[in-house]
Structure 1
Amino acid sequence: MRILHTMLRVGNLEHSIEFYTNVLGMRLLRQSDNEEYEYTLAFLGYGDESEEAVIELTYNWGKSEYEHGTAFGHIAIEVDDAYQACEEIKSRGGTVSREAGPVKGGTTIIAFVKDPDGYSIELIQAKS
């Protein structure tokens, strides 16, 4: 068994695809419309779906926002250098909600960014 994808509902698919590709450096792997049920799916990731988990963005036509609730926390992405990643994300128009630094009570370097729908993405610096 393996994890295939994490699905997020988004209010503006084009804006979200732009964020995940241009700000976080993922690739749009595939996209499809379902005319009968009025939704579009877009799958994005850093590698091929056959080998890596990806993000599925679901846009329900005409729905522009969602309540996040209290159960979902964040998506985590490993980066080589969290400080540099934050600077690159800001230079590409992304929002850093917690600058890079040690996790409270530990030494792991983390940061948080927000996607266009307000979902949190944790950047975790790779251990050398």
Structure 2
Amino acid sequence: MRILHTMLRVGDLQRSIDFYTRILGMNLIRQRDNEQYRYTLAFVGYGSEEDGAVLELTYNWDTTEYDLGTGYGHIAIGSDDIYATCDAIKAAGGTVSREPGPVKGGTTEIAFVKDPDNYSIELIQTKTQ
């Protein structure tokens, strides 16, 4: 068994696709509308669904905003250089909510960014600088 995808409900599908593809560098893998039940699914990721987990962005046509609740934590993405990644995210109009640096009480370097629906995304340094 393996993780296939994580689903996020989004308030503006194109804005979210733009964020995950243009700002975080993912690819739009596939997208489909369900006219009968009034929703669209868009799958984004860094590789194919066969090779790794992806994000399923679910847009319910009649909903523009969600309460994130207290159970959601974050999505984690590995980065070879979180400092350069955060600079690029800010230059592209994204929001860095925690600047890069060591995690409290440890040495792993992390940063956090917010997507357009305010979901947290943790960036984790994967290479030693």
Could you tell me the TM-score, scaled by structure 1's length? 0.99
Q: Runs of at least 4 residues of structure 1 off by over 4 A?
A: none
Q: How many residues align?
A: 128
Query: What SS does the aligned partner of 1:72 have?
Result: coil
Secondary structure in 2 matching 1:123: strand
What are the ranges of 5 or more consecutive residues in structure 1 without an aligned counterpart? none
> For residues 77-92 of structure 1, what are the structure 2 equivalents within 5 Å?
77-92=77-92
Percentage of matched positions with identical amino acids? 70
Equivalent-residue separation in structure 2 for 1:62 and 1:14 (angstroms): 15
Question: Deviation of residue 127 (structure 1)?
Answer: 3.9
> How large is the Cα RMSD of the aligned pairs?
0.6
SS of the residue 2:106 aligns to: coil
Number of the residue aligned with 1:5: 5
Q: Which position in structure 1 is the counterpart of 2:49?
A: 49
Match of 2:58 in 1: 58
Paired residue for 1:34? 34
Please tell me whether residue 23 in structure 1 is matched to residue 1 in structure 2.
Answer: no
Aligned: 1:68 with 2:46: no
State TM-score, norm by structure 2.
Answer: 0.98
